[in-house]
Amino acid sequence: LYAWFMVSPSRYRLAQRLGAWGSRLLPKQAGWVRTLPPPLSAWTSSRHFPSFAFQPFLARSQKLNYGAKQTPTPQRRKRETEQLTEKSQPEDVVDRFSRELEDIGGTIVRCGEGVAPDKVAAYLREFGITKLIAWGEQQPALNAVIHHLRDKGFEILDPCLPRGSGPERDRRMVDLGRAEAGLTGAIAGVAETGTLVVPAGRNQSQLASLLPPVHLVLLPASVIHQTMTDWLREGG
């Protein structure tokens, strides 16, 4: 049934609207759905579930009139002039990303791909980290770092979990919970906010980025964009 809805845009839109209307009838706490009927109850057994939106994010954002003209005021003219002056001297995208990331408490270490394995190992040793969760086989640069860490005696945990629920899965989660750091890649960085676009999928478990207290990311400078719009425009 799920596949039947997903393969047709019109059926998907219908399912989304029905889900949005239906979620209004479900018990909520601060806007979150607390209970779903079986078999969806598996999702809400351990966590709250967000309410269904009536439209996809892209459809909602396209309705916003970002290009609407406003009556200019002296203050706005001055602000726009200052912005134009700033844009005439663009800041390096990596410099801006670094500054914004550090403003929100992050740390960035710049290095070439060839020395990245040693840099990551040194960072982990500095903070006494010996056990970490890492993605599976990915791009060569990340693979090289993971292999180097194994050679240096670091314990690399595979975040793959057994299907379903049960004692084995619980034991695995307890073991992963002891990891002191997570190591992943990212498909993009956004300079204006200092944020990362971290995908999820095969060999890209979100546990590596969300479970440990420290998250290390190998981010090529070539995938850093000034804005989210720039990244989306380039096919992100």
pLDDT in tens, 143-198: 999 999 999 999 999 988 888 778 888 898 999 999 999 999 999 999 999 999 99
How high is the mean pLDDT of the chain? 80
Residues 6+ apart with CB under 8 A from 40: none
Give Cα separations from 226 to 93, 109, 199 (angstroms).
Answer: 6, 19, 19
SS3 195: strand
Q: Which pLDDT score, from 0 to 100, does residue 89 have?
A: 47
Q: Which pLDDT score, from 0 to 100, does residue 68 have?
A: 47
Residues 6+ apart with CB under 8 A from 192: 96, 100, 226, 227, 228
Radius of gyration of the chain (CA): 22
d(Cα 117, Cα 146) in Å, to the nearest integer?
8
Q: Taking Cα atoms as reference points, which of 135, 144, 156 lies closest to residue 208?
A: 135
Q: Which pLDDT score, from 0 to 100, does residue 41 have?
A: 67
pTM of the model: 0.61
Q: Cβ–Cβ contacts within 10 Å for residue 51, how many?
A: 16
Cβ contact 20:52 at 8 Å? yes
Average confidence (pLDDT) over 93-107 = 92
The span from the first CA to the last CA of the chain, in angstroms, equals 30
Q: Cβ–Cβ contacts within 10 Å for residue 154, how many?
A: 20
Average confidence (pLDDT) over 78-101 = 69
Name the band, by pLDDT with cuts 50, 70 and 90, for residue 50: low
CB-count burial class (<10 Å; 0-12, 13-18, 19+) for 25:
exposed
Name the band, by pLDDT with cuts 50, 70 and 90, for residue 8: confident
Q: Which pLDDT score, from 0 to 100, does residue 66 have?
A: 43
Domain range annotation of the chain: 2-63, 93-233
Is the CATH number of domain 93-233 3.40.50.10420?
Answer: yes
Cβ contact 117:148 at 8 Å? yes
d(Cα 28, Cα 191) in Å, to the nearest integer?
36
